[in-house]
Structure 1
Amino acid sequence: MAKLTATPLSALADEPVHIRITGLAPSQVVSLQASLKDEKGNLFASQAFYRANEVGEVDLERDPSLGGDYVGIHPMGLFWSLKPEKPLGRLMKKDVMNSPYQVHLQLCHPSLPVKGIVASPPMDSLILERWYVAPGVTRIQVKEGRLRGALFLPPGEGPFPGVIDLFGGCGGLIEFRASLLASHGFATFALAYWGYDDLPSHLETIDLEYFEEGVEFLLRHPKVLGPGVGILSVCLGAEIGLSMAINLKQVKASVLINGPNFVTDSPHVYHGQVNQAAPSNVEFTTTNALGHVEFYRVFEETADKDSKYCLPIEQAQGHFLFVVGEDDKNLNSKMHADQATAQLVKSGKRNWTLLSYPGAGHLIEPPYSPLCKVSRMPYLAPNINWGGEVILHAAAQEHSWKEIQTFLKKHLSPDLGSQL
């Protein structure tokens, strides 16, 4: 009798699962199907076909998918190839504390559906739990002064290296990355700055003093290891993270994922000093064959490495990790990271590392997250192409997540790194 196993059945969303099948006939071809529903009930699903070996077994760590949503040896392919049933959907966990995603795995005969004929029932099935917090991680809602967000603390007394987590154009409070980072030993403050609670509904300016307050709040916590903090940021958040690193001496390590090295829209203001936005060329906005909007060319005037619009990254005292998706269709992230590192080199600085991933798109997230290639952002464009090729993007997510943690440990807790 065919048997489907997965180990572990319950794990963090960024941890791998070992999937095996036993009890098949030699060389039998089967279909493995995965599905989950997000908190709004939207369905995401994937499928791959496998051939059993001479003893009737399939091991996803050893055996290649023959077809379906990916081809080749990819042990976690069923997870990162999940696709939304409704177009333009993005899988993004809202409630990270109280409920995991439940991933339904089914082992099926690879027959094609025929109208009027009911498909045979699955040979076996499993439900996997994918959590966004490890046991013992605590969440503290933050509403202190102007600050709004959520602080995630690892279990234990600490002290733990402190990280501020910033997202970008989505607005609101996004917690899934901060909760996972806390699960790996970092006190992580998911900091909202617009479109949440009583914060502004749109950004007229970026007030860096607000983010400075966030840094000071984090460093005041008794379980946070000083004297500095790290930044984990993407897109507009990475633009802000770069400004923070330049202006705030407490910022010791900055992870900038697919961000610009200049101000894109809302001016940055810090103690009366204003950095204005670089000019954009709306006529360079492109639309692909599917009608999806791409913005990666609109700042081509910043291409000159001596551009007056580049933020003075050489003034920063901390270290930088640039994470770049070379197929980013929202920003020319590779060019902007090259500009920033060239500025540092010109100033004699070696305080940076660049991870550049061919085939990766804009939304580089923790590992095994499905690629979101296109999604809605109604106030900006009806559907934005973020870029990315499924297999290469998945590889970039898995590699960069490990490198991000290593980088933050190295520069925030060099003496404790081996214990985290």
Structure 2
Amino acid sequence: MVEVTVTPQSSLADRPVQVLVRGLSPSQLVTLRAWLKDEQGECFQARAFFHADDTGEVDPGRHPALGGSYTGVCPMGLFWFLQPDTLFRRLVKRDVAGSPFLVQLEVFDGLHLVTGPQEQPLACCGAERWYVGPGVQRVPLREGRVRGALFLPPGPGPFPGVIDLFGGAGGLIEFRAGLLASRGFAVLALAFFAYQDLPRALTQLDLEYFEEAAELLLQHPKVRGPGLGVVGVSKGAEVALAMATFLPQVVATVWINGTAFLHGNPLVYKDLHIPPIPYRTERIVLTELGALDNSGVFSDPRDPSHSSSAIPTEKIRGKVLFVVGEADRSLNSKLFAQLAMARMAPGSGRLLSYPGAGHLIEPPGSPLCSISSIRGTPRPVMWGGEAQPHAKAQEHSWQEIIQFLELHLGSTATMKL
């Protein structure tokens, strides 16, 4: 009797699992398919072809995939290479605290490039992929001007505090905050536009808003001070670097594929005003796929006329971890990281640079999204990346991010799920 199992059956989305098929004939050719439906009903799937070994088993952690969504030995390949049936969709968990993603694993006899509803698998099973661990509490935050969601690990604490920021899509994205809280951090997923009563569009970066959020987080009885961490990607990385520069509360910053200059929107903070480099929207390229390549909208920051728009990172007194995808199609993030580090005190910045990784470097449970629709743009946007190196970059960088935050904010009590 053919059987497929996933161990553990319920796990955090950033944790590895083992897929194992038993009961096949020796050398039998089979197709393994993984699929899930997101909260909008969109189907994401991956498949890989294997020959069973002499004992009739297929273990993607030991046996190479012969083709399909990936090739070679990749224990998490069926999870890492999920792709949408509809073009330009991005797999994002919205309701992180209420339910997991339910991943279905199926085994078919022979080579199945397309799986119709009439085809019956030899075996199937389900796996739960959670974005919060047991006991993690989500608290909606609406205090003063600050809007977001606070994720608290179970127990009395106090826990090291982290502010989590996303980019130009606006709104509130919580999946990374939930996973960080499951690692023992008290995490504020912070919105800064296009959410509730916040401005619908981003016209300026008001650093006093982010200062208010930092002070609010540090005042929480379950948050351990005196310093906190910030994690930001894209526009959120630009904000994170500014916070590290001007806010003494910020002692550990994770900057993921962002800039080191103000772009499009000025930064204001008390009497300070940093003018932006204008976006060169006339340089947007429409690709053959019908997506926008925005990499040309960023002028060369080394032009002397842009010097007044630089974030003065020489003022940073904490530590910064720069995470770069070298195949980022949104902007030249490696150049921006290098320019920021050149101004910083020796030893205060560290660069992780990944060939083949794209713009959206996320926790390892997130499959590559190289193109997707985004709020505020008329067409899908290119993010870049190649599936296999991007997946490996996410796995490596996530562990480095956790270790970096623990090193500079203090140890955490890691959960088991």
CA gap of 1:120–1:84, structure 2 versus 1, over 3 A, is closer
Matched with 1:286 is: 285
- For residue 299 of structure 1, what is the amino acid of its counterpart? F
- Report the CA distance between 1:378 and its aligned residue: 4.9
> Does the 8 Å contact 2:279/2:297 carry over to 1?
yes
Cα distance in 2 for partners of 1:350, 1:296 equals 30
Distance 1:353 1:39, change over 3 A: same
Which string of whole-angstrom CA distances, capped at 9 and with x for unpartnered residues, describes residues 78-129 of structure 1?
Answer: 11111111111011111111111100100111344799x9854100000110
Tell me, what secondary structure is at the counterpart of 2:254? strand
Give the match for residue 409 of structure 1.
406
Match of 2:187 in 1: 188
Tell me the distance in 2 between the aligned counterparts of 1:137 and 1:384.
34
The alpha-carbon distance between structure 1 residues 228 and 331, as it changes in their structure 2 partners (threshold 3 A), is: same
Number of aligned residue pairs? 414
Question: Normalized against structure 1, the TM-score is what?
Answer: 0.95
Separation (CA, whole Å) in 2 of partners of 1:27 and 1:303 = 58
What residue in structure 2 maps to residue 266 of structure 1? 265
1:140 to partner: Cα distance: 0.8
Instruction: Give distance in 2, aligned partners of 1:113 and 1:259.
Output: 38
Whole-Å separation in 2 of the counterparts to 1:18 and 1:297 = 42
CA contact (8 A) 1:305 1:342 kept: no
Q: How far apart, in 2, do the equivalents of 1:419 and 1:299 lie?
A: 40
Query: 1:311 corresponds to which residue?
Result: 311
1:103 matched to which residue of 2?
Answer: 103
Deviations 1:34-80 (A, max 9, x none): 11001111111110001111121111111110000000111111111
2:360 is aligned, of 338, 359, 363, to 363
Residue matched to 1:173: 172
Letter in 2 for 1:238: A
- Structure 1 residue 284, shift from structure 2 partner: 3.1
Are the counterparts in 2 of residues 44 and 84 from structure 1 also a CA contact under 8 Å? yes
Name 1:296's counterpart in structure 2.
295
- % identity of equivalent residues: 51
Match of 1:321 in 2: 321
Tell me the distance in 2 between the aligned counterparts of 1:185 and 1:304: 43
Name structure 2 gaps, 5 residues minimum: none
**Residues 87, 215 of structure 1: alpha-carbon distance in 2 compared, 3 angstrom cutoff:** same
Higher mean alpha-carbon deviation, 275-284 vs 263-272, is at 275-284
Alignment of 1:373-412 (within 5 A): 373-412=370-409
One-letter amino acid matched to 2:386: E
1:342 deviation in Å? 1.6
Structure-1 separation of matches of 2:114 and 2:326: 41
Retained in 1: the 8 A contact 2:184–2:414? no
1:366 is matched by which residue type in structure 2? P
Corresponding residue for residue 47 of structure 2: 47
Cα distance in structure 2, aligned partners of 1:120 and 1:203: 49
Could you say which residue in structure 1 is the equivalent of 2:234? 235
Amino acid at match of 1:168: G
Contact 1:303 1:335 in 2 (8 A): no
Partner of 1:31: 31
Kept in 1, the 8 Å contact 2:159–2:412? The answer is no
Which amino acid in structure 2 is aligned with residue 262 of structure 1? F
Match of 2:145 in 1: 146
Looking at structure 1, the residues matched to 244 and 305 of structure 2 have their Cα atoms a distance apart, in angstroms, of 20
Query: Aligned Cα RMSD in Å?
Result: 1.8
Q: Contact 2:320/2:348 (CA < 8 Å) preserved in 1?
A: yes
2-structure distance, mates of 1:390, 1:100: 24
Whether contact under 8 Å (1:109, 1:120) holds in the other structure is: no
Query: 2:203 matched to which residue of 1?
Result: 204
Residue 159 (structure 2) pairs with residue 160 (structure 1): yes
Whether the aligned pair in 2 keeps the contact of 1:141 and 1:149 (CA below 8 Å) is yes
- TM-score, length-normalised on structure 2? 0.96
Shift in Å, 1:418: 8.1
Aligned residue identity for 1:144: E
Equivalent position of 1:276 in the other structure: 275
Matched position secondary structure for 1:399: helix
User: 1 CA distance for matches of 2:397 and 2:289?
Assistant: 30
Over 3 Å counting, the alpha-carbon distance change for 1:114 and 1:100 in structure 2 is closer
Whole-angstrom distance in 1 between the partners of 2:412 and 2:94? 30
Task: Write out per-residue CA displacement over residues 211-254 of structure 1, whole angstroms, 9 at most, x where no aligned residue.
Answer: 00000000001111100000010000111111111110010000
Q: 2:341 — aligned with what?
A: 341
Deviation at 1:287?
Answer: 3.1
**SS in structure 1 at match of 2:203:** coil
Aligned counterparts of 1:289 and 1:353: Cα–Cα separation in 2: 37
Deviation at 1:286, TM superposition (A): 2.6
